[in-house]
Every structure is written in C-alpha cells, then in structure tokens.
Amino acid sequence: MYCPYCGEKLALVLHDQEGLIPYCKNCGEYRFPQFATAVSMVVTNRAKDKIMLAKHKGQDDYILIAGYIKKGETAEKTVTREFREETKLNVVKYKYMSSRYHESHNVLMLNFLVIAENGEPVIDQAELEEVMWFSPEEALEHIRKDSDAEHFLKNALPELKNKF
Ligand SMILES: [Zn+2]
C-alpha cells in the first residue's frame, strides 16, 4: 500500500479509535483505505408484483441493475440517473435497504428498493443484453446464485408487502 498523495510506502500504525490504519510518515497522515461506491437496485413495478432483472452480454444468469456513484454525486442521484440511462424509464420512488462490501471489485454496494414507472424498458445495448420483468418467485430462480444481487433480492422481497 502506498500513499495516494505522495507515493510513500504506508505502514500500519495504531490509531486511537480505529485500530491499525495505514499511515504515511512523509505526509504525517493516516490514509484510510479507499474503495469505490456503487448502487444496486431491486426494481419493482407500481403494483409491486414484478421484479426487473438485467442480463449482461455473454452471461447466462441475471443480476440487479447497478452502477457506480460518480465523484461528487449522491447515491440517491445515482439511482435515478443510472436507472434512466439503462432502461429509459423513470424512478417513481426509492428506499435505501442495506449495504455490502464486494471484495473482488473493492466496492461498497448500497442497495435500494426502487419503484419504476410503468412501461417497457429500452436498454443500452452496449452494456446489457436484456432487461426483463419476472414474478418475485421467478426472479429468485433466475438471479445469479451466491451473488450480492441474490443477497439483496432476498433481503428486499419481504419489503414489497409493506407500504413505502
Ligand atoms: Zn504521503
């Protein structure tokens, strides 16, 4: 690990409250590890009886619609922007659900439950192969197994019965 500001090799130094934290002795500053942040969306329709899943090019199984948060952007803004970019549909309502750190991509995923406006999604063909509406049971069958998407979907489905 190297200092992102000066390039000095970082050493783990005991921080009063945080335990062992990478420290740059050149800058005299703790350098907390950096990671990306992204939103992931469990998208439902107004009737809350369908779930939208996406399939990426070259993949067999489905995942949730997701996207990186741009620097300076709020997670809430990313939800509405990213969903519109990927489906050409608008977000009617959203609610934050939970988060999970994804090690291999070094990204903290923030999961939202999203109600989309009625209509057929028009996808960005450069990124996605297909976006489809499923019943909640079908969505559980088709979602990528042991993925963050599956974890978030299972967590969000009981919430469909509640008003939000
Ligand atoms: Zn430094």
Cβ atoms within 10 Å, residue 117: 13
Q: What is the Å distance from ligand 1's center to 22 Cα?
A: 10
**Same-domain pairing of 18 and 57:** no
Report yes or no on whether pTM surpasses 0.85.
Answer: yes
CATH of the domain at 130: 3.90.79.10
Q: What is the Å distance from ligand 1's center to 20 Cα?
A: 17
Whole-angstrom Cα distance, residue 121 to residue 17? 48
**Same-domain pairing of 113 and 91:** yes
pLDDT surpasses 90 at 125: no
Q: What is the Å distance from ligand 1's center to 107 Cα?
A: 23
Q: How far is CA 108 from the centre of its chain?
A: 8
Q: What pLDDT shows up at residue 2?
A: 94
Q: What pLDDT shows up at residue 57?
A: 87
Number of domains in the chain: 2
Cβ atoms within 10 Å, residue 21: 16
Q: Are 69 and 78 in contact (CB under 8 A)?
A: yes
pLDDT tens digit sequence for 50-61 = 999 999 888 889
Q: What is the Å distance from ligand 1's center to 1 Cα?
A: 11
Q: What angle do CA 66, 69, 74 make, to 5 degrees?
A: 120
pLDDT tens digit sequence for 73-124 = 999 999 999 999 999 999 999 999 999 999 999 999 999 999 999 888 998 7
**Same-domain pairing of 7 and 51:** no
**Same-domain pairing of 96 and 157:** yes
pLDDT tens digit sequence for 150-164 = 999 999 999 999 887
**Same-domain pairing of 29 and 40:** no
Q: What is the Å distance from ligand 1's center to 32 Cα?
A: 12
pLDDT surpasses 90 at 45: yes
Q: How many residues appear in the chain?
A: 164
**Same-domain pairing of 64 and 134:** yes
Q: What is the Å distance from ligand 1's center to 25 Cα?
A: 7
Q: What are phi and psi of 156, to 5 degrees?
A: -90, -25
The residue segments making up the domain with residue 122 are 36-161
Q: What is the Å distance from ligand 1's center to 4 Cα?
A: 7
